[in-house]
Structures are given as C-alpha cells and as structure tokens.
Structure 1
Amino acid sequence: MHFDKSPKEKPCCTLPTVKKLLEEKRKRETSSVPPSCATASTSPVPPNSVTLSTSEPFTCTGASNNYSDMALSFEQWPSAAEPTLSYYSSHPGPSYTTGYSLPMISEYGTQQQLPGFRDTMAQPYECPMTVSDPSMNSSWSLLGPSEITQLSFGSSMDVAKLEEARMLLSGMDYNSAIEQDEDGDTILHIYTAKGLRECAFAAAERLRDIGSLDAKEHNGKTALLVAVTANQPDIVQDLLSLGADVNACDVNGQTALHLAAHYGFPGALQPILSYRAAVNLEARNFEGMTPLHCAAISHSVTMKALSASGLANGSLQAKAAEKLTCVQMLLREGASPLSQEIKSNKTVLHLAVKEGNINLVRYLLTIPLPNIKDFVNMKAHGHTALHMAAGLHGNPHQEEILRLLLSKGADPSIRNMENDQPAHLLQSGPQGEQLKLMLKKRSASSRRRNMSLQDQE
C-alpha cells in the first residue's frame, strides 16, 4: 500500500530507511575503525517508502535427496570464516540447492534513539552463554531449570518513555501510524527492526486495536518474526503478550521458532517456548523441516566454520554454544528427535552424522528415549546413521561417531536400498579395513546375543 502524501504533508526530515540503517550496521561490523555515531533522526514519522527486508537467503535445506555420494571421500572443510550473508542480497529469492549454506548472523538489530527521549535506548539483549572449551571435546547435557532461567530477558520497560511514545503515536497522521507502505511495512515493523522497544509497544497497541498486529510485509514477516530475526527478546515477549500470532509464518513457511533456531538466538527462543500450549513445535516450513532440524543444520554450519578456524575463534565458539542451546531448549520443551524432514526423511541425528558434527552427535545420543535403538537405526531413504557415518571418508571424527552409534545399538547388518551394509561404504586402505573389522565384530556379537535370547525364549 502506498502513502499518498501531498507536498504539505511530506516531512522535511525523515528517518533513514531500514535498509540504509542495516547497511551502515554491516559496515561498522566489518570495519576495524570504531563505529561512528548512529544516524540521528528528527521525526518519528516513517519515510514514504521503507524497505524492511528483501528476499532472505534462508537455505536451510536439510539434505540432498540423492545419496549416491555416500561412499565418496569426505571433503575437508574449507578454511574460511563463517559466512555472513547480506540480508539485502541481489538474489531474487531463497536458494535451496547449495547444501547447508546458512546466513549465520541476523542483519537486524540496529539501535536508534527516538527523538524526544531523554536517554538512549537500552543496549541489545545479550544472552549469558558458556563458551565451550577450544578443544570442543566436552560432552553436552540438557539444560537444567536454573540455566533456562538465566536465558530470561528481565529488562523492564521504561514507563516514561512508553508514555512519550504513545503521545508521539497519537500526534501522528492516522494513516502513517497504522497503514502499510508499498513494501508492506508498518511503523511497528520499523520500530521493531530498530530495537525501539517502547515505540514498538505503543505502535503494537494501536495496531492490535484495529486487528492489524500480525500485518505482514512483502516477505510475509509479521512484526513478531522481525523481532526474532533482530534478536530482540523483550519485543518478542511484548508482542506475544499483546496477542501476536506465535505460529505465523513468512513466505518460506518459517515461524518464529524456525527463525530463532536458525539464527541461534536462545534469548528470542525462550519467550516463544513459554507459550507452550499455543506454539507448534513440529511446524514445518516449506522445505518440510521443523525448528529442530533448522537448529541442528545451523549448528553444523557453525561447527564447520569453527573447525576451519582452528577452534580458536571465540565468537564462533560462543555462537556454536548458543545454537546447541537452542537444540537443547527445543528438545526440553517437547520437540521430537524422531521427526523426519519431508524431503529426505532425515532425523536430527542423520543431519548431525552426515555433517560429521561430533558435538551434536554426542549430545543427541544422551537424550533419554524409551528405545534408543529404534532412534539410532531409523532410516532416511534406506540409510541409517551408521551408513552415513561410514561415508564420512577423511572426517577426523568418523571412528568416534561409528563407535558412539554402535554403543547405542546401531545395527551394522542393516542394508540400504542398494543392498549395502555400512561396511560396504567405508573408505579403502588401512583405516577402512580397521573400521570394517570393528563393524564385523559388532555384527557378529549382535548375532550371538540375539541367538542367545531366542534360545532362552
């Protein structure tokens, strides 16, 4: 929708577009020069055309449907930093053909000071996470209630600033306050993307009163989805408390849970999960994945980048810890590890094993399940996790992953649709022969145990 303004209504000074704000933020983040002061704004009225977002490259694909590469050599991870993809890329839409290439950092989150406010807005929420040991060899366990409490977003709203924001909103032109521009952005989208909590709350109240709290911009994002992508836990909580739809999805089928899991924002994830009765933990995006699948894939991407950096990158260690925490939180609240993504039937264990993500494999195998053997031996288009581990040629964790799976009841005798057992997919050479012997011994031991049980019956 367009704002049809006459020359008299056009403000002499307008807010910079969200796109410009985000571009400036990216420049500050990538520059070694200390960041300059944020662009000052002199009017709370949104510009005539504000672009909140264009097509977001959310390529959380799960896996290729073709498993013909199972026995191919494992490619060493390239020595490159974890990718940060521009939210305003030139691509016409999301790509789902390049494997697990995920944007690791949300481009939202620029903080601005609202004109007329006495103090600067609160600093962005920082979730207190424990950075893992550089060796990354410690095992992970489920978060306890005390750890979950630490993820809470306890900052209180400034009542005085909220009243000022309400006054500013009431003094605005009515259409500017409630309508959407040609990109579908409401003033609530704008304030949310900039992290202006009190302004966002005041705008949300007005939009709620006219039934437009879940208005979507041109990529289908509601203000709640923008708040999650901007990693604004307090605004997420505010919008939910005002009645925002917790299960709303964008044009790619991503719900707030998908986005929080994808970006690895445990702080934004917590208020969503607090709506346990309403939130759909098994919601599928248009690629057939649940939020748990997205969290697992995203964690694997960060672990690859961390491995390529020599495990010495503190920020990547912290991000890996946050993303694993998202996996833990989803499972703790009832997300099913048995869920299979629709395109390739992979479970979260298949996804972790196929990427050689030893930390996630270790953790997943500690989950207390009624029958862990069934979980370990589930098939994805005929392949068990053991088949996938056998195909990790060159991965330094291949042997450990095989042993972990075997210790939890993985069956080396199971054949895939090509009639191959895991041993048939191992690499050639001394190491492959050693691993093959290990699988054969375990298979023989399993047969003897089964025969013994049959005799007892």
Structure 2
Amino acid sequence: MAVSCEQWTAAPEPTLGYYPSYPEPGYAAAYSLPVSSEYGTQQQLPVSGDTMSQTYDCPMSAAGPGSASPWSLLGLNQTKQMCFGLSMDATKLEEARMQLSGMDYSRATGQDEDGDTILHIYSAKGHREWAFAAAERLRDVGRLDAKEHKGKTALLVAVTANQPEIAQDLLSLGTDINACDVKGQTALHLAVHYGFPGVLQAVLSSRPAVNLEARNFEGMTPLHCAAISHGATMKAFSTSGLTDVSLQTKAAEKLSCVQMLLTAGASLCSQEIKSNKTVLHLAVKEGNIDLVRYLLRIPLANMKDFVNMKAHGHTALHMAAGLHGNPHQEEILRLLLSRGGDPSIRNLENDQPAHLLQSGPQGEQLKLMLKKRSASSRRRYVSLQDQE
C-alpha cells in the first residue's frame, strides 16, 4: 500500500509587460520575467545617466536554526547580490518628481485596461527613482495599494520582479505589507516561491507587521511554499545530472529562504489546511534529503512530537516508507528514527510504516530496521514503567 497525498503544483511564472503610453526615464526596453519552472532572476535593465552610487548593507545577521547565518547556505557572490541598501540618485529622483508633477492626473494616478498603474510599471522595470516618485503621488491620493488584474499591488510586483530596493521603498511609504493577490499570495509567499532571499529580507525587515503565518488560498503558509519550491528545484537538479550550476545556486537560495523564515519566527509546526502536512511532511514526501537534513538538525525541545505529527493519519515515517525507488529512502528513514520517529504508530488504515514499504530484498531490509527500532522503543517504555 502506497501513501497517497495530493500534489500541490506551483503556479507558472507570470509575465509582466509594460505599456508604451507611459513615459520612459531615458530609454525604452521591454521587461518580462522569464517563464520558467526554475524562476531564474532576470537581468537588471541598464539605467541611463550617471551610475547610481552603491552603499551595500546586509542588515540581517541573526543566526538561523542549525546554521551561523541565513546567508551561510550561499556563496560569497550570491550573498553580495542579495544585499540591498542602494542609495537613490537625488538628481534622478528630483527629475522623476518633476516629470510626475507635470503629467496628466489620469495618467499619473489612473489604471490601464489591465489594472496597472504607472507605479506597477516602474516597479516591474526596476526604475527605482521613478517608482518612488510615483509611489509618493499615489500615496497622496490613497491609491498606493491599487491592484492590477491579477490582484497584485506594486509591492507584489516588485517582489515578483526581484526588486528589493523598490520593495523596501514601498514599505517605507506605507504600502500594505500583507496585501495578497487573487490566489491569496502575500509578498512572503511570492518571495519564497521564486527563491529571492534579497526581496524576502526586505519584507522581513518590516517585522513585526508582516504576517509570517498568512495563508494563501491553498491553505499554505510562506514556509510551506518555500519547502515546495525548494523541492521542485532539487528534483530538477537531481535529474540534470547534478551538473547544472544555476539550479544548484537556486536551490541554495531557496533553502536560505526557508532558513530566513524560521529565523524570523515562522512556525515549524504549522500544518497546511488541505491535508495537514507540516514542512517536514512536504520535504519527506518529495524525498528532499537536503531539506529533511536541515529540518532535523534544528534544536527543538519537542522534536519527537514534531517528527510524529500526523497529516491525515500519516506520520513522516509513513511517507518515507512510501518512497519506493527513491535513492534517499533509507537515509530519510534513519534520520527520522534518530530524531524520535515512532514506527509503531498506525495511520487511518491501521498500517504501520513497515506495512507501506516496497516488496523485495530492500523492503525486507528496511522492514527489519523499523521492527528493531520499534522493539527497542517498547523495551525502553517497559523499563521506564518498572522504574516508576
């Protein structure tokens, strides 16, 4: 009998266009996010005029669970790329303000047929000074959080476009940090879905206003989405022959997002609504050995209870037993057992994990391992009763 769990499929990447009727700050170039299952970060558009002065600053340095720093999962180059704190060009900002002030009111504050304001456009294209000036104008007329046809505010567009500085600017101007799109996805959901640690940090730096446990319309918190997204990248990486450097980098970025959420206080024990899975269930179900290792290294006082939580009757051990043919099945089973996994627990069909193992020599070997652990647990329980 195999464990049956419904699959959540990540939404495809959106494409963000722009409309020529809006003025361009010195050049014209179309912007769009890559339509890819691996959410590669788009190239930054060139900015005309003087080079913007850069003062890099990484404000987050708190240690995450089981690691010295949320950035430690990434290489030095990736860490530098995700540090934000670029100072705006004062000359360009004043130019943008003047241009906006002289613009027709309906063009400066209105929405086009797709619901996009000029702020949505500038946020998507990465024009920071113009986005800031537009945000000031829209804030003054109470339209800073106007939504386009997919329910995205300018903040959600900035997050999707991997624009941490613009996201931080919008937050400083008072945009709704917990706004969601038509799928219930907040800035946190989108940042971890695409694997953008820099944008995630910009949003998390606005704590405690941000809701770490917000649910999208699939009933998932940002932590659940981060686990699913990391698993998708790891699966693609494993099928690539472990030679795709871009996938390896993206996997590290997404695992960093998981770590950052937990460092910020996201609940490890939160269960998604549809099937009650925790982030551990999601990792085990996909055979995501890297995430399982990371989660089980976190120093939890109630680790045994966490490992044995049920998702519609199935513990993580039940799910690991159902990983027939997965090269990491035995290691995942051993890790779960070492952290208190109880092989005697039965699911709703009255099956123990051993009953869900594959047939054949490997299944028999794993069954013996589970039975030995179960017998050992019973002996310890009897010994404790005798001591009492």
TM-score (norm 2): 0.86
* C-alpha distance in structure 1 between counterparts of 2:261 and 2:255, whole Å: 10
Which of residues 41, 45, 52 is equivalent to 1:111?
A: 45
User: For residues 5-30 of structure 1, what are the alpha-carbon distances to aligned partners after superposition, in whole Å with 9 as ceiling and x for unaligned?
Assistant: xxxxxxxxxxxx95379xxxxxxxxx
Q: Which residue of 2 aligns with 1:44?
A: 23
Q: Which residue of 1 aligns with 2:3?
A: none
User: For residues 57-102 of structure 1, what are the alpha-carbon distances to aligned partners after superposition, in whole Å with 9 as ceiling and x for unaligned?
Assistant: xxxxxxxxxxxxxxxxxxxxxxxxxxx746xxxxxxxxxxxxxxxx
Q: Which runs of 5+ in 2 are unaligned?
A: 1-14, 59-64, 74-78
Counterparts of 1:46-445 in structure 2, within 5 Å, are 85=35, 103-105=37-39, 111=45, 113=47, 117-119=48-50, 141-144=66-69, 151-445=82-376
* C-alpha distance in structure 2 between counterparts of 1:289 and 1:145, whole Å: 22
| 1:252–1:285 Cα contact (<8 Å) kept | yes
The structure that is helix-richer by fraction is 2
User: For residues 217-244 of structure 1, what are the alpha-carbon distances to aligned partners after superposition, in whole Å with 9 as ceiling and x for unaligned?
Assistant: 0110000000000000000100000001
Question: Could you tell me how far 1:154 is from its partner in structure 2?
Answer: 2.3
Among all aligned residue pairs of Structure 1 and Structure 2, give the percentage whose two residues are the same amino acid.
76
Q: Which residue of 2 aligns with 1:94?
A: none
Aligned length: 357
Q: Which residue of 2 aligns with 1:448?
A: 379
* C-alpha distance in structure 2 between counterparts of 1:350 and 1:371, whole Å: 16
* C-alpha distance in structure 2 between counterparts of 1:262 and 1:45, whole Å: 30
One-letter code of the match for 1:403?
Answer: R
One-letter code of the match for 1:232?
Answer: Q
* C-alpha distance in structure 2 between counterparts of 1:121 and 1:215, whole Å: 29
Query: Using a 3 Å threshold, how does the CA distance of structure 1 residues 183 and 243 change in structure 2: closer, same or farther?
Result: same
| 1:338–1:375 Cα contact (<8 Å) kept | yes
* C-alpha distance in structure 2 between counterparts of 1:112 and 1:207, whole Å: 26
RMSD: 2.8
TM-score (norm 1): 0.73
Question: Could you tell me how far 1:119 is from its partner in structure 2?
Answer: 3.5
- Tell me which of the two structures has the higher relative contact order, counting C-alpha pairs closer than 8 angstroms and 6 or more residues apart: 1
One-letter code of the match for 1:420?
Answer: D
Query: Using a 3 Å threshold, how does the CA distance of structure 1 residues 200 and 109 change in structure 2: closer, same or farther?
Result: farther
| 2:71–2:256 Cα contact (<8 Å) kept | no
| 1:52–1:189 Cα contact (<8 Å) kept | no
Q: Which residue of 2 aligns with 1:19?
A: 17
Question: Could you tell me how far 1:105 is from its partner in structure 2?
Answer: 1.2
Question: Could you tell me how far 1:171 is from its partner in structure 2?
Answer: 1.6
User: For residues 402-453 of structure 1, what are the alpha-carbon distances to aligned partners after superposition, in whole Å with 9 as ceiling and x for unaligned?
Assistant: 0000000000000000110000000011100000000000000000001111
Query: Using a 3 Å threshold, how does the CA distance of structure 1 residues 121 and 215 change in structure 2: closer, same or farther?
Result: farther
One-letter code of the match for 1:242?
Answer: L
Question: Could you tell me how far 1:118 is from its partner in structure 2?
Answer: 2.1
Q: Which runs of 5+ in 1 are unaligned?
A: 1-16, 22-40, 57-83, 87-102, 128-139
| 1:376–1:384 Cα contact (<8 Å) kept | yes
Q: Which residue of 2 aligns with 1:30?
A: none
